[in-house]
Amino acid sequence: MPIAKEVVTGTRSTAAELRASNVSVEAPGEAFRSEILRRLGAFRAQGMDRPASVRALFPHTVLPESTYEDVVAALVSGAHVLFFGPSGAGKTSLAKDLWDLYPKGAWVVEGCPVLDHPLSIVDPAVADRFPPCPICTRRFAPGGDASLFDPARVDAAKVPAQFVHLREGFGFARLQGSSEVFPDHLTGNINLRKLEEIGDPMSPLVLEPGKLLQANRGFLLVDEIGKLPLGTQNVLLQALQEGTVTPAKSRESFPGSFVAVGTSNLSDLDNINDPLSDRLTSLHVGYNERHADNRKIVALARGTEFRGWVPEILVDAGVRVIEAWRLRMSDDNPDIGEVGSNRTLLDVAARTDAIALLAGRAVPSTTDLRSGLVHAMRGRLRARSGESFRQNEKRVGEFVDQYLPPSLKRSAGVYWCRYFRDILHESTAESEALVGEGRRLKDDAALLAQLTSDPNLFPRFRSFARYVTDREKPGDTVAPNDAAISVYRLLEEHSLFSCTDEDDDDAPL
């Protein structure tokens, strides 16, 4: 029976049928390369240019275009990669995007704990390149004697195959680096129930696969690889060099072939031993320099990180304060290194929203933003001692007080300039008319109620309200006119409804 090109997860077959259908056998790096090229081709067929196609491979991260190009080039070349950079720059998110990108469908020997390919059991050439595990060699050897295993003599019709979807523990493994991760975590431990049945602690049949074996034929993610002890790093090195793993309590080696992606903060790079580092292509993942990219990071989190509505001017100003911190503070100082992280970017809007909610305000104010900034940034300080924490806390407060006013001015200016140019077409008369209507409405609840009920009143402000609603989507928590009044107040306070050449989105403060 020929195997269909599109195979459904759970489909069963035999090695004989796979061989008759010319099913390919690829190393993990080769499968990844094929999938990346296939997706890029599909994006190009949809009309995307090359940069857009590369960006589309990573839907959950926002990084400089050059970073994406470096990652794709490394993976297509078959390399393992190490993402290094400041804490909170998006290294782990990028690694998770790679796992999402990795092809998940695979033919495996049914029942094999490390997912041997069925053809490695029956094809000498495949077995030479991808040796089957000791468990399968015993399973398909005459009398269960591994020394007699010969793939040329195995009846391919008796090798059961199954098409599976790779998942955690079966083709994907994630390891969090720490000083307490020992080699056995990577190679595996003895399964006591199997030991009781078999009786031989050195038999491969009693092994419970560790992280490297769980990743076989798939993907391994090692967070903070520099925190692994040297002995544990050496176990990983063997797998990267030879594609095999030799557990300490086993006489035989297991296959351990995968695409490895590691992450490291700058402070841990020196802890990665040189031979292991040589096996990894090092790629720097830093903070985004473009303001628009940092805004995208926050936009991706809206609806998951915080539920309420924070006016865009406040969100934008919060991002600008964090960007100013990054420009002026060192990432190498471990006490304050995470204050400028992407996690802080997300925290600012969420804390601002929470502070306003606790105060009974449906719409956060400038004061709430200041509190949200201090709260989020202070929460990323490392508390080594009470005195140093208080000093850094004071530094954060002083920094926010210095850079929040110009940030608000810039954010309000950009917001107004876009409306003035795109909607009002730089008409000073229309601008003055809108400002006049807004001043009448902002402190008059009765007039605001009439605006809601009478569609003919205040046409310019009504148009502004539609713009705010379409652009910011405040949802059901805030009425459209109330949202527009809130934005109007911010514009009146911080932009003075003026538009200058300095209102550049990406210019640093």
Reading the block at residue 382, the tokens are 């490392």
pLDDT at 246: 86
SS3 167: strand
CA 236/CA 43 separation, integer angstroms:
35
| 0.85 exceeded by pTM | yes
Beta bridge partners of 163: 107
Q: What does 151-165 look like in DSSP terms, one character per residue?
A: GGGS-GGGSEEEEEE
Q: Match 């599976």 to its residue by tokens.
A: 164
The torsion defined by the Cα of 469, 473, 479 and 483, in degrees rounded to 10, comes to -60
Count of CA atoms in the C-beta half-sphere (13 A) of 128: 4
Rg of the chain, C-alpha, whole Å: 29
Model confidence band, residue 451 (pLDDT cutoffs 50, 70, 90): confident
Is domain 12-283 in CATH 3.40.50.300, yes or no? yes
Neighbouring-strand partners of residue 283: 83
- Sequence ranges of the domains in the chain: 12-283, 291-494
Torsion angle, CA of 424/425/426/432, rounded to 10 degrees? -20
Q: How confident is the model at residue 4 (pLDDT cuts 50, 70, 90)?
A: low
* Res 336: pLDDT: 84
- The residue-averaged pLDDT of 8-31 equals 95
- pLDDT value at 99 more than 80: yes
Residues 60-85: tens digit of each pLDDT: 899 988 999 999 999 999 999 999 99
Q: 48: buried, middle or exposed (CB in 10 Å: 19+, 13-18, 0-12)?
A: middle
Q: Tell me, what amino acid is at 240?
A: L
- Record the tokens describing residue 344, joined without a space: 């802080």
> What confidence category does residue 192 fall into, taking pLDDT thresholds of 50, 70 and 90?
very low
Tens digits of residue pLDDT in 209-253: 899 999 999 999 999 999 999 999 999 999 999 999 988 777 788
Question: Residue 331: is its pLDDT beyond 80?
Answer: no
Give the residue carrying structure tokens 């509505």.
309
